[in-house]
């Protein structure tokens, strides 16, 4: 079946613009995660949803970052008033079941955001 | 504060030989460890995992070893193949809280397997 799909693949934004990044998880996957990967680094956790509930947003770097998953499926990561330090690859991942499981995360190919 | 560290940015190995990738962690609350492989312009793909109650897990050419007392794990690939050339990330899962399942990643090691 289809994997995790992210759009757009590439996004260039001028500093101060708002952006919205979309994630379509694998159908039926309960858990959805957003990660940020800076150049030469490993992915860093941003936020976690179980179905439509955002259970952990401790990794969001500022209040300019907002994520939602209103129907427990597609998720959107929104960044307001983008800054150059927001330039990174944003990865979405989903897993089949929720808390306490060893179900591995399935990652999308990411959205590369460049803020100029 | 880097809780998961991969101290070797790169590793070069001859085809057919063993590749050993290393990872150290500091947080004793991690209960599950995973290795992910990443090709350019793609997302990480799951490779192999190990629970903190075990010290070894094997899957084909891939074996992960966990030394809890040293807070160290390693991934062995035998025999290495050119198609194994990729970035390898070590990741650890933090037990408890509301994000049981969120991962902390190392910085990655670039593995190059020469024909």
In chain B, the residue whose alpha carbon lies closest to the alpha carbon of A55 is B98
Map B56-84 to HEC letters: EEEECCEEEEEECCCCEEEEEECCCCHHH
pLDDT more than 70, % of chain B: 94
> Touching check for B104 and chain A: CB below 8 Å?
yes
In chain A, the residue whose alpha carbon lies closest to the alpha carbon of B37 is A107
**The pLDDT of residue B100:** 61
Q: Measure B73 CA to nearest chain A CA, in Å.
A: 17
Q: Which residue has the tokens 């460049």?
A: A114
Quick one: which of B68, B73, B74 has its CA closest to B28? Answer: B68
What is the total count of domains within chain A? 1
Rounded CA separation A94/B75 (Å) = 24
In chain A, the residue whose alpha carbon lies closest to the alpha carbon of B101 is A99
Average of per-residue pLDDT values in chain B = 93
DSSP letters of A60-114? --STTEEEE-TTSS-EEEEESS--GGG-EEEEEEEESS-TT--PPPEE---EEEE
Rounded CA separation A63/A15 (Å) = 16
B69 in Cβ contact with A68 (< 8 Å): no
Identity of the residue in A56, A102, A109 whose CB atom sits nearest the CB atom of B99: A56
B84 in Cβ contact with B21 (< 8 Å): no
Answer yes or no: is pLDDT of B101 > 70.
Answer: no
CATH homologous superfamily for the domain B4-114: Immunoglobulins (2.60.40.10)
Res. A97 pLDDT band, cuts 50 70 90: confident
**The pLDDT of residue A103:** 77
A4 in Cβ contact with A74 (< 8 Å): no
For B92-109, what is the mean pLDDT?
81
Answer yes or no: is pLDDT of B41 > 80.
Answer: yes
Summarised one tens digit per residue, pLDDT across range A35-78 is 999 999 999 999 999 999 999 999 999 999 999 999 999 999 99
**The pLDDT of residue B29:** 87
Domain spans of chain B, in order of start: 4-114
CATH of the domain at A65: 2.60.40.10
> Touching check for A39 and chain B: CB below 8 Å?
no
Rounded CA separation A41/B38 (Å) = 12
Average of per-residue pLDDT values in chain A = 93
For A97-104, what is the mean pLDDT?
68
- How many CB atoms within 10 Å of residue A86? 21
Q: Which domain holds residue A11?
A: 5-115
Identity of the residue in B34, B89, B107 whose CB atom sits nearest the CB atom of A104: B34
**The pLDDT of residue B102:** 81
Pairing state of beta strands A65-68 and A53-56? Answer: unpaired
């Amino acid at each position: 079946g289809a994997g995790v799909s992210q759009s757009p693949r590439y996004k260039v934004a001028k500093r101060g613009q708002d952006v919205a990044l979309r994630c379509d998880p694998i159908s039926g996957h309960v858990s959805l995660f957003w990660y940020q990967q800076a150049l030469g680094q490993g992915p860093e956790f941003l936020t976690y949803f179980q179905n439509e509930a955002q259970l952990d947003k401790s990794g969001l770097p500022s209040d300019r970052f907002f994520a939602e998953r209103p129907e427990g499926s597609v998720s959107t990561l929104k960044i307001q008033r983008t800054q150059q330090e927001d330039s990174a690859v944003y990865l979405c991942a989903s897993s089949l079941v929720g808390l306490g499981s060893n179900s591995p995360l399935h990652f999308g190919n990411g959205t590369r955001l460049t803020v100029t | 504060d880097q809780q998961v560290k991969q101290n070797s940015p790169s590793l070069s190995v001859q085809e057919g030989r063993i590749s050993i990738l290393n990872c150290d962690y500091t947080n004793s609350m991690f209960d599950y460890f995973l290795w992910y492989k990443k090709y350019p312009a793609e997302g990480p793909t799951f490779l192999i995992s190990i629970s903190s109650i075990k010290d070894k897990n094997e899957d084909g050419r891939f074996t992960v070893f966990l030394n809890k007392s040293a807070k160290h794990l390693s991934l062995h690939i035998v025999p290495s193949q050119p198609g194994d050339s990729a970035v390898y990330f070590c990741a650890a899962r933090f037990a408890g809280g509301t994000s049981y399942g969120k991962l902390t990643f190392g910085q990655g090691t670039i593995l190059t397997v020469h024909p």
